[in-house]
Structure 1
Amino acid sequence: MTTAKRPLRERYTRTELPSLRELATRLRTGSATSTELVGRALARIDAVNPDINAFTYIDRAGALDRAAELDRELREQKPRGPLHGVPIAVKDVIDVAGMPTECGSAHLAGNIATVSAPLVTRLEELGAVVLGKTVTHEFAYGPTGDCSAAGPSRNPHDLARMTGGSSGGSAAAVAAGIVALAVGTDTGGSCRVPAALCGVTGFKPGYGQLAVDGVFPLAPGLDHIGFLLADPADIEVVGGELGLLPPEPAPGSGPVTVGWLDPYRLGPADPAVIARCRAALYGLESAGLIRLVPARLPRPRRLQEIFETIQSFEVAAGHESMMRDGLDLYQPDTVERLRHARQVTPQQYADARAARPAAVAEVLDLFAGETDVLATITTPITAPLLGERLSAVSSDRAPTKKALLSMTAIWNLIGAPAVSVPAGEVGGMPVGMQLIAPHSSRPLAELGAAVSRASGLFL
Structure 2
Amino acid sequence: MKKAASLRDAGPFQSVSVTDLADNLRQGKVTSGELTERALNAAREFGPRINCFVTLDEKGARRAAEQADAELSSGCDRGPLHGVPVGVKDIISTAGLMTGMGSKHFAGHVPNTDAAVVTSLRSAGAVIIGKTHAHEFAYGPTGDIAVTGPALNPNDISRVTGGSSSGSAAAVAAGLLPIAIGTDTAGSVRIPASLCGVVGMRPTSGTVSPAGVFPLSRTLDVIGPMAGSVTDTALLWRAMVSRPDHTGVTGPWLPLRVPNSPTQSPLLRVGEVKCALTERVSYHQIEALQIAVSALVDSGAVTVEVPIPEVDECGRVHQAIQSAEAYALHQDRVESAPDLFDPEILRQLRAASEVSGWEYVLAMQTRDRLREQVLAKLSSIDLLVMPTVPIEAPLIGQRELQGENGWTSTREALKSMTVPWSLLDLPAINVPVVVNGAHMPCGVQLVGKPGCERQLLAAAAALELRLETG
Q: Distance in 2 between matches of 1:128 and 1:253?
A: 31
* Partner Cα separation in structure 2 for residue 28 and residue 392 of structure 1: 54
The 8 Å contact of residues 8 and 157 in structure 1, kept in 2 or not, is answered as: yes
| Residue pair 2:179, 2:233 contacting (<8 A) in 1 also | no
Question: What does residue range 215-230 of structure 1 map to in structure 2 within 5 Å?
Answer: 215-230=213-228
Q: CA RMSD in A?
A: 2.3
1:428 positional shift: 2.7
Q: Deviations over 1:64-87 (max 9, x none)?
A: 111011101111111111110011
Cα drift, residue 452 of structure 1: 2.7
Return the alpha-carbon distance in structure 2 between the equivalents of residues 209 and 302 of structure 1.
26
Shift of 1:245: 4.3
Distance 1:309 1:266, change over 3 A: farther
The alignment status of 1:269 with 2:267, answered yes or no, reads no
Q: 1:393 to 1:156 in 2, by over 3 A?
A: farther
1:403 and 2:413 equivalent? yes
Alignment of 1:40-189 (within 5 A): 40-189=38-187
Amino acid at match of 1:246: G
- Once the two structures are superposed, residues 281-308 of structure 1 have per-residue CA deviations (whole angstroms, 9 ceiling, x without a partner) of 21331x2421111112142232222111
Q: In structure 2, do the counterparts of structure 1 residues 288 and 184 end up closer, same or farther at CA, with 3 Å as the change threshold?
A: closer
Contact kept in structure 2, 1:260 and 1:292, CA below 8 Å: yes
- Relative to structure 1, the CA distance from residue 288 to residue 68 in structure 2 (aligned partners, 3 Å threshold; closer, same or farther) is closer
Give 1:328 deviation, angstroms: 0.6
Instruction: Check whether the contact 2:225–2:237 (CA below 8 A) recurs between aligned residues.
Output: no
Higher strand fraction (1 or 2): 1
Contact kept? 1:87, 1:131, Cα under 8 Å: yes
Instruction: Give the Cα–Cα distance (whole angstroms) in 1 for the partners of residues 269 and 110 of structure 2.
Output: 48
- Percent of paired sites with the same residue: 38
Indicate which of 206, 231, 234 corresponds to 2:232: 234
> Where does residue 397 of structure 2 map in the other structure?
387
The answer on whether the counterparts of 1:267 and 1:406 sit within 8 Å (CA) in structure 2 is: no
Per-residue deviation, 1:396:
4.1
Structure 1 segments unaligned to the other structure (5+ residues) = none
Give 1:312's aligned residue.
Answer: 323
Distance 1:380 1:253, change over 3 A: closer
1:289 maps to: 300
Distance (Å, rounded) in 2 between the aligned partners of 1:141 and 1:237: 28
1:171-229 CA deviation, whole Å, 9 max, x = no partner? 00110111121111000000000000000011111012111110111010101011111
Give the equivalent residue in structure 1 for 2:387: 377
Contact 1:49 1:55 in 2 (8 A): yes
- Tell me the alpha carbon deviations over residues 378-410 of structure 1, each in whole angstroms, 9 at most, x when there is no partner: 000111110000135645442000000000011
Relative to structure 2, which stretch is displaced further, 393-402 or 183-192? Answer: 393-402
**TM-score computed with the length of structure 1 as normaliser:** 0.93
Matched, 1:6 2:11: no
Looking at structure 2, the residues matched to 7 and 381 of structure 1 have their Cα atoms a distance apart, in angstroms, of 20
Q: Cα deviations across residues 247-297 of structure 1 (Å, max 9, x unaligned)?
A: 59x999962111011364356220321122211221331x24211111121
Structure 2 distance, partners of 1:441, 1:238, is 13
Instruction: Give the whole-Å Cα distance in 2 for the aligned partners of 1:114 and 1:54.
Output: 24
TM-score calculated relative to the size of structure 2: 0.91
1:416 and 2:414 aligned: no
Alignment correspondent of 2:446? 435
Q: CA deviation at 1:153?
A: 0.5
Aligned residue pair count: 452
Q: For residue 312 of structure 2, what is the aligned residue in structure 1?
A: 301
Structure 1 CA distance, aligned partners of 2:69 and 2:275?
48
